[in-house]
């Protein structure tokens, strides 16, 4: 003899929703959604790197052209030395550090934004 | 200079180096400690170590000599050696650390899953490592000769032995402490005498070194940045810029250091501190070169411009004070040889041990035998290539690195469509063209023609050629793309805080 069991639907009036798959899971599954997440991070970081390369190419890589095209300007004395010496011997280093410092901050900001999106509950 | 002071300086640096190495050995127990210091080195310490390893004989003695002999154009070398770290920071640092590989061949294999690519990168690491070790050992021999009167070859042998003891006893963990110490030693050794020399210069009336009255016979435009580079100064300048900016990321001993950071974020911060440390250091060598023009111009005619850094205190101050400052500079120069040679030996030995020796020997024993092999071959090559200038060999090592590993790293990290066939095409084209230029420069004499200029500074044409070969080769073989490429991109670029499958 079997017990009487009452069978009911788990559905309540509101209807329960399944949690959406997490972004990390989408990335792991290499789904189209995961691809969008990954590509957005890659694009953001690559854009940043391209900005650094461009800044370097213009500010430092432009110097030989400036020396060639504007020899009179480069012969000007600043602080007792020719301008070209001041630029290449001293000023260029703080510029490189400033670009690097800006890059590190921006790259970490990109990664924080990505982490926030992917880890969102 | 006084050989007693010189010998004491060399001895003190050697004892300190080996001593710190043995002290570091207490922390160095596993194979992972040996190769990557178990990846636990903090940014400030790691940055000092990178700076210590990177600032070689070419930086400590060579730059001042080049500035003295050729003028403002030579400032591009220290600028390029620093800017190279900015490109390394923006394009390579964090992803390279996150790749989780030990060496460049490990990175290539993990990215492309191809045995032939691994073999070619291994061969290139060893070739570039040896090319860069030759000038270190030669420069060491010449400095020891100046400081202690020891024969050139014997001096090189002494350095080779100290390097070997240093590397074999401690591996990467202990070398990290040694290199960090050596950065600060090098900076002090260059900074303190510079202050005294500048005071003497002010006392003498502070004549501008740019004054044409200091021109040597046949020389003009020393202060003009486009005058000392031969018949095609614009091409040569840009070629030096490309080789140094892009070559830094491809130097095997530089790349190996990034695996010792705890994570990608630390790798970036380390690189930023390196930029600061290099910027501070590289202000100093040109000061010696410029002062040398007033006080030691005769060294150029004698072909001994490289010794200007050590000669200046002897000439400008003299007496015991001058001797002591010169001894401090000898100590700094010797530290420069030791640290760069140790880093290169570790990089070359790491590859030899993983790809060749591991068949017969395991773990640490294989690493030690490989280190001995790496140093001995480099020493023999240095004795054979006696006539090649220190700066020439260093410059060519940068050109080869820029033409091979730079495209491999940049495309491997940022371009999913890179294939093994494309990588091989780029490495072969870049390696063969820049390698041919190296051989030609080692055997032929310079002349005024375009051909000679293109061969002496090959990077401006070999680097674009290598990139093009890698891209075209990859686009022609789309079916050979690694199925793991996307997973590997996830690993390279996602921050460690995110929990994803990294392959």
Residues 6 or more apart whose CB falls under 8 angstroms from that of B118 comprise: B105, B108, B109, B355
Distance CA B23, CA B21 (A): 5
Report the C-alpha dihedral over residues B173, B174, B177, B182, rounded to 10 degrees: -120
Mutate to test the interface with B, among A96, A102, A110, A113 (most CBs of B within 10 A): A96
- What 3-state DSSP class applies to B157? helix
pLDDT of residue B316: 92
Whether B87 has its CB under 8 Å from any CB of chain A: the answer is yes
Distances (CA, A) of B275 to A19, B85, B272, B286, B460: 47, 6, 5, 18, 24
The answer to whether B270 and B37 have CB atoms below 8 angstroms apart is: no
Q: What's A77's DSSP letter?
A: E
The answer to whether B152 and B145 have CB atoms below 8 angstroms apart is: yes
Token pair 């990321």: residue: B249
What six digits make up the tokens of B327?
Answer: 């001894």
Q: Model's pTM, two decimal places?
A: 0.91
The residue of chain B nearest to residue A120, with distances taken between CA atoms, is B498
Q: What's B248's DSSP letter?
A: G
Distance CA A90, CA B283 (A): 6
pLDDT per residue as tens digits for the range B59-103: 888 899 989 988 888 999 999 999 999 999 999 999 999 998 778
pLDDT of residue A24: 77
The answer to whether B164 and B345 have CB atoms below 8 angstroms apart is: yes
Q: What's B498's DSSP letter?
A: S
Q: What's B296's DSSP letter?
A: -
* CB count in 10 Å sphere of residue B30: 12
Pick the more confident residue, B47 or A6.
B47
Q: Do B497 and A115 touch (CB under 8 A)?
A: yes
Whether B417 has its CB under 8 Å from any CB of chain A: the answer is no
Distance CA B454, CA B69 (A): 22
- Taking only residues 46 to 65 of chain A, the set having a beta carbon closer than 8 angstroms to any beta carbon of chain B reads 46, 48-49, 52-53, 56, 60-61, 63-65
The answer to whether B65 and B308 have CB atoms below 8 angstroms apart is: yes
The answer to whether B489 and B426 have CB atoms below 8 angstroms apart is: no
Give kind and range of the element (H or E) at residue A78. Answer: strand A77-78
Inter-chain CB pairs, A–B, below 8 Å: 136
CA quadruple A30, A35, A36, A40: dihedral positive or negative?
A: positive
What's the complex ipTM? 0.91
pLDDT of residue B28: 54
What six digits make up the tokens of B343?
Answer: 């880093």
Q: Do A100 and B275 touch (CB under 8 A)?
A: yes
* CB count in 10 Å sphere of residue A78: 12
pLDDT per residue as tens digits for the range B103-130: 889 899 999 999 999 999 999 999 999 9
Length of chain B as a residue count: 503
- φ, ψ for residue B230 (rounded to 5)? 80, -160
Which of B83, B42, B255, B91 shows the shortest CA–CA distance to A97?
Answer: B83
Token pair 């260029």: residue: A92
Token pair 């000669």: residue: B311
Distance CA B271, CA B91 (A): 12
Give kind and range of the element (H or E) at residue A22. Answer: none
What six digits make up the tokens of B352?
Answer: 């030899």
> Which of A42, A49, A84 lies at the smallest CB-CB distance from B90?
A49
Q: Do A64 and B238 touch (CB under 8 A)?
A: yes
- CA B339, distance to chain mean position in Å, is 10
Residues B108-117 as b or e (16 or more Cβ within 10 Å = b): bbbbbebeeb
The answer to whether B61 and B292 have CB atoms below 8 angstroms apart is: no
Whether A37 has its CB under 8 Å from any CB of chain B: the answer is no
Whether B79 has its CB under 8 Å from any CB of chain A: the answer is yes
Whether B490 has its CB under 8 Å from any CB of chain A: the answer is yes
Residues 6 or more apart whose CB falls under 8 angstroms from that of B353 comprise: B361, B366, B367, B369, B370
pLDDT of residue B38: 46
Task: Provide mean pLDDT across the span A85-104.
Answer: 95
Distance CA B392, CA B439 (A): 12
The answer to whether B427 and B120 have CB atoms below 8 angstroms apart is: yes
Q: What's B36's DSSP letter?
A: H
Report the C-alpha dihedral over residues B130, B186, B84, B481, rounded to 10 degrees: 50
- What 3-state DSSP class applies to B132? helix
Whether B198 has its CB under 8 Å from any CB of chain A: the answer is no
Distance CA B35, CA B58 (A): 26
Which of B129, B70, B73, B134 shows the shortest CA–CA distance to B306?
Answer: B70
Token pair 């209807």: residue: A15
What distance in Å separates residue A16's CA from the closest CA in chain B? 27
What six digits make up the tokens of B87?
Answer: 């490109």
pLDDT of residue B361: 75
Complete domains list, chain B, with CATH: 3-493 (1.20.1730.10)
The shares of helix, strand and coil residues in chain A, as percent rounded to the nearest 5, are 70, 5, 30
Contacts of B280 in chain A (CB under 8 A): 93
Contacts of B210 in chain A (CB under 8 A): 81-82, 85
Residue B205 Ramachandran class (φ > 0 left, ψ -120 to 50 alpha, else beta): left
Q: Do A42 and B268 touch (CB under 8 A)?
A: no
The residue of chain B nearest to residue A56, with distances taken between CA atoms, is B83
Whether B235 has its CB under 8 Å from any CB of chain A: the answer is no
Length of chain A as a residue count: 121
Q: What's A90's DSSP letter?
A: I
Contacts of B76 in chain A (CB under 8 A): 88
Across A48-52, A75-79, B156-160, B167-171, the highest mean pLDDT is recorded for A48-52
Q: Do B275 and A71 touch (CB under 8 A)?
A: no
Which of B81, B397, B354 shows the shortest CA–CA distance to B251?
Answer: B397
Q: What's B479's DSSP letter?
A: G
Mutate to test the interface with B, among A28, A69, A81, A93 (most CBs of B within 10 A): A93
What distance in Å separates residue A113's CA from the closest CA in chain B? 11
What six digits make up the tokens of B180?
Answer: 């960090």
Q: Do B275 and A96 touch (CB under 8 A)?
A: yes
Token pair 């060579």: residue: B62
Distance CA B258, CA B263 (A): 9
Distance CA B62, CA B58 (A): 4
- φ, ψ for residue A60 (rounded to 5)? -100, -45
Residues 6 or more apart whose CB falls under 8 angstroms from that of B202 comprise: none
What distance in Å separates residue B331's CA from the closest CA in chain A? 25
Q: Do B283 and A90 touch (CB under 8 A)?
A: yes
pLDDT per residue as tens digits for the range A18-45: 666 677 777 777 778 888 888 999 999 9
Task: Extract the residue ranges of chain B whose pLDDT is less than 70.
Answer: 24-40, 170-174, 218, 389, 446
Q: Do B86 and A100 touch (CB under 8 A)?
A: yes
- What does the H/E/C string look like for B50-111? HHHHHCCHHHHHHHHHHHHHHCHHHHHHHHHHHHHHHHHHHHCHHHHHHHCCCCHHHHHHHH
What distance in Å separates residue B501's CA from the closest CA in chain A? 6
């Amino acid at each position: 003899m079997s017990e009487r069991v009452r069978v009911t639907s788990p559905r309540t009036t509101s209807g329960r929703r399944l949690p959406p798959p997490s972004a990390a899971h989408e990335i792991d599954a290499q789904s189209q959604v995961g691809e969008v997440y990954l590509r957005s991070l890659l694009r953001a970081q690559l854009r940043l790197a391209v900005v650094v390369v461009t800044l370097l190419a213009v500010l430092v890589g432009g110097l030989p052209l400036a020396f060639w095209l504007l020899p009179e300007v480069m012969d000007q004395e600043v602080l007792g030395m020719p301008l070209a010496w001041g630029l290449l011997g001293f000023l260029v280093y703080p510029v490189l550090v400033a670009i690097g410092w800006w890059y590190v901050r921006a790259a970490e900001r990109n990664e924080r934004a990505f982490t926030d999106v992917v880890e969102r509950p | 200079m006084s050989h007693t002071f010189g010998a004491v300086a060399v001895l003190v640096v050697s004892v300190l180096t080996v001593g710190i190495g043995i002290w570091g050995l207490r922390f160095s127990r596993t194979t992972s400690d040996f190769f990557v210091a178990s990846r636990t080195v903090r940014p400030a310490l790691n940055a000092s170590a990178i700076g210590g390893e990177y600032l070689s004989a070419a930086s400590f003695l060579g730059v001042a000599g080049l500035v003295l002999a050729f003028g403002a154009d030579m400032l591009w070398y220290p600028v390029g050696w620093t800017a190279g770290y900015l490109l390394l920071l923006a394009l390579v640092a964090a992803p390279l650390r996150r790749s989780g590989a030990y060496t460049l061949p490990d990175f290539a294999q993990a990215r492309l899953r191809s045995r032939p690519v691994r073999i070619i990168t291994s061969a290139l690491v060893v070739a570039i490592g040896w090319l860069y070790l030759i000038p270190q050992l030669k420069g060491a021999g010449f400095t020891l000769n100046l400081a202690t009167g020891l024969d050139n070859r014997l001096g090189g042998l002494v350095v080779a032995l100290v390097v070997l003891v240093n590397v074999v006893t401690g591996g990467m963990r202990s070398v990290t402490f040694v290199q960090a110490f050596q950065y600060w030693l090098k900076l002090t050794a260059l900074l303190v005498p510079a202050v005294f020399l500048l005071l003497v210069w002010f006392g003498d009336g502070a004549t501008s070194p740019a004054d044409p009255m200091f021109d040597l016979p046949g020389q003009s435009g020393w202060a003009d940045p486009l005058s000392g580079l031969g018949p095609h100064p614009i091409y040569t300048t840009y070629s030096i810029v490309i080789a140094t900016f892009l070559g830094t990321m491809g130097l095997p001993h530089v790349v190996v250091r990034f695996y010792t950071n705890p994570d990608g974020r630390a790798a970036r911060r380390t690189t930023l501190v390196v930029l600061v440390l290099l910027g501070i250091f590289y202000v100093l060598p040109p000061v010696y070169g410029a002062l040398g023009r007033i006080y030691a111009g005769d060294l150029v005619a004698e072909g001994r411009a490289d010794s200007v850094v050590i000669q200046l205190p002897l000439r400008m101050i003299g007496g015991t004070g001058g001797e002591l400052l010169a001894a401090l500079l000898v100590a700094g120069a010797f530290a420069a040889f030791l640290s760069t040679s140790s880093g290169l030996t570790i990089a070359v030995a790491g590859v030899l041990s993983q790809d060749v020796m591991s068949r017969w020997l395991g773990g640490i024993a294989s690493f030690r035998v490989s280190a001995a092999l790496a140093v001995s071959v480099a020493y023999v090559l240095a004795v054979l290539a006696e006539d090649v200038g220190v700066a020439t060999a260093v410059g060519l090592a940068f050109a080869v690195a820029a033409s091979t590993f730079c495209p491999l790293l940049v495309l491997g990290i940022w371009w999913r469509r890179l294939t093994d066939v494309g990588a091989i095409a780029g490495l072969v084209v870049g390696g063969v063209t820049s390698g041919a230029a190296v051989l030609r420069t080692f055997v032929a004499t310079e002349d005024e023609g375009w051909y000679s200029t293109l061969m002496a500074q090959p990077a401006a044409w070999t680097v674009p050629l290598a990139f093009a070969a890698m891209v075209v080769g990859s686009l022609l073989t789309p079916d050979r793309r690694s199925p793991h490429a996307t997973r590997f991109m996830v690993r390279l670029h996602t921050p460690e805080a995110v929990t994803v499958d990294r392959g």
